[in-house]
Amino acid sequence: MKFYKIKSHAKINISLGVLGKLKSKFHKIETIFSFINLHDEIYVKKIINKNHKVIFYGKFSKGISKNNTILKLLKLLEKKLCSQKYLIKVNKKIPSKSGMGGGSMNASSLLKFFIRNQKLNLSSRDIYKISSNIGSDVAIGMQNKASILYGNGNLKNLNNKISLYILLVRPNFGCSTRAIYRKVKFFSKPVFKLNSRRIINHKFLSNLKNNLEEPAFRIYPKLKKLKIFMEKLDEILFVNMTGSGSTIVGYFNSKKAALDAKKKLNKKYKNYWCILSKTI
């Protein structure tokens, strides 16, 4: 039986507004997000076995919990898979605790694979329920392009494509999402309106913020220093942290400008993970 290969693309929050707190104690957020060409590689194969087998390898495979998103998904799909077991190998190229939803994107990419290739019969309600039980970002991963997540939970794909080169810079530590959200003291007002025909371009995006930066910078001052340094780079359009960190993202129109900036970052922050990527 051959392996199927799946690309599980990283997600970045170009902006993120924290609008309030829900009765569930989770936060109500508004975000515009995009997928990028950085991706994990997932290999899937049917096996004759009593249990599923999930193997993580690659640069960022260390420290992944046994209660990971893929095993959670397989457990939730147990009845739908009709006792069929799978061997799943994941080459981890997306750092954990980086604000790029690597684990959640793995689960959503695999769920899309089962729906498409294994003809898994799931309603929209089933998909939403499964996604919610795994993690808040899994539903976002079911999208195929840049979208807006509104405060009421609605998702809307952008009509125009966001085409920018980006530098992803992550210090040698990750951020705790729970710890960051606990430090949120102020809530923002919604920026996006349903059915708005606003043109989303880099000039508009450059005015947007990530409300999680302020609490993240208080806990991790190195992130603030990194952002300040990146904002001074030549030809950079804007800089924002993605998700709850710890990755800081710099946006460029030109690949050459991004590569020149990467050289400066590599010289200044020799121990930081820094790669060039692109929105897709």
* pLDDT tens, residue by residue, 69-81: 999 999 999 999 8
Catalytic residue among 11, 92, 97, 262: 11
The pLDDT value given to residue 71: 96
Task: Locate CATH 3.30.230.10 in the chain.
Answer: 4-149
- Residue 18 has φ and ψ, to the nearest 5°, of -100, 110
Please tell me the total number of residues recorded for the chain in this structure: 280
How far is residue 150's CA from residue 156's CA, in Å, rounded to a whole number? Answer: 8
At residue 194, the pLDDT reads 72
Distances in Å between the Cα of 180 and the Cα atoms of 38, 45, 78, 97, 99 are 25, 38, 34, 12, 11
Q: Per-residue pLDDT averaged across 195-202, rounded? A: 78
Locate CATH 3.30.70.890 in the chain. Answer: 162-278
| Start-to-end Cα distance in the chain | 32
Residue 11: active-site member: yes
Return the pLDDT at 3. Answer: 96
The mean-pLDDT minimum among 123-127, 156-160, 235-239, 266-270 falls in 156-160
Q: What is the pLDDT of residue 255?
A: 98
pLDDT score, position 121: 86
Task: Tell me what the pLDDT averaged over the chain comes to.
Answer: 94
Predicted local distance difference test score (pLDDT) of residue 88: 98
Q: What is the mean pLDDT of residues 93-101?
A: 96
Question: What pLDDT is recorded for position 125?
Answer: 92
Higher pLDDT, 126 or 144: 126
Architecture of domain 162-278: 2-Layer Sandwich (3.30)
Higher pLDDT, 145 or 60: 60
Residue 197 has pLDDT above 80, yes or no: no
Please say whether the beta carbons of 261 and 234 come within 8 A: yes
Percent pLDDT > 70 in the chain is: 100
Closest listed residue to residue 96, CA positions, set 226, 216, 247: 247
**Candidate list 72, 92, 137, 227, residue with the active-site label:** 137
Q: What is the DSSP letter of 157?
A: E
Strand 53-57 and strand 85-91: pairing?
parallel
- What architecture does CATH give domain 4-149? 2-Layer Sandwich (3.30)
Q: Is the pLDDT score of 1 beyond 90?
A: no
